[in-house]
Amino acid sequence: MIVVDASALIKVLAEKGPAADTVRKRLVGEALAAPTHLDAEILSVLRGLTLSGKLAVDRAEVAIGLLEIMPLERVPAQVYLRRGWQLRGNHSAYDALYIALAEALSCPLITSDARLARGNIAHCEIELFV
């Protein structure tokens, strides 16, 4: 089991190239988990990419379709609110919930967010893919 955050998953869903391929290879064959807010984060990023012209609308729609069928366990964030709150000094609420879930599952967190990876109070392995 691994926890994947929106920054890493957006590479898989909407990007091409070596960085995206590296993340894809890391996720293949793994059981994936994420807090339920991941879907909203992905939609927000896709919206921003399409509005800025960096991603075609049809490509974003394909990404949404892939997200809908992705075998990803979505875990209710409310279970990890207390730990997320404890991490508030070093991480955003969204990032803290990814960390809290990875800690609870005793598994690595896959991210493409260097800022998240720099936080030094997580009790889980954080794998950074940039």
Average per-residue pLDDT in the chain? 96
Task: Examine the pLDDT at 121 and tell me if it is beyond 90.
Answer: no
Q: How confident is the model at residue 68 (pLDDT cuts 50, 70, 90)?
A: very high
Total domains in the fold of the chain: 1
The CATH number for 98's domain is: 3.40.50.1010
Report, as an integer, the average pLDDT of 65-90. 95
Q: Which of 35, 7, 36, 44 is nearest to 23 (CA)?
A: 7
Q: Is 5 annotated as a binding residue?
A: yes
User: Is there a contact between 128 and 111 (Cβ–Cβ < 8 Å)?
Assistant: yes
- Single pTM value for the model: 0.93
Query: Is 58 within any annotated ligand binding site?
Result: no
The whole domain housing 90 covers: 2-128
